[in-house]
Amino acid sequence: MADEDFDAHRLTVEVDRLLEDRSRVDSMAEAARAMGHPDAAVRIADLLERHAR
């Protein structure tokens, strides 16, 4: 969504749609888990520490 199309009303509409569609929320959660890196913060901190030495 383009920034110029985003406002409080649009946010409300989108959240309402999600609240009414559990299967979509479940699909989004599954996709996020598939793309996520749970250890990302630790990996970034380790990288920074190595390069700071």
35 found inside a domain: yes
Question: What is the average pLDDT across 7-15?
Answer: 96
15 found inside a domain: yes
Query: Is pLDDT above 90 for 1?
Result: no
pLDDT at position 28:
95
Question: What is the average pLDDT across 21-40?
Answer: 95
Report the alpha-carbon distance of residue 2 to residue 4 in Å, rounded: 5
Sign of CA dihedral 21, 24, 29, 5: negative
2 found inside a domain: no
Closest to 1 (Cα-Cα) out of 51, 11, 21: 11
Query: Is pLDDT above 90 for 53?
Result: no
Question: What is the average pLDDT across 9-27?
Answer: 96
Number of domains in the chain: 1
32 found inside a domain: yes
Please give the structure tokens belonging to residue 21: 């569609």
Question: What is the average pLDDT across 19-25?
Answer: 96
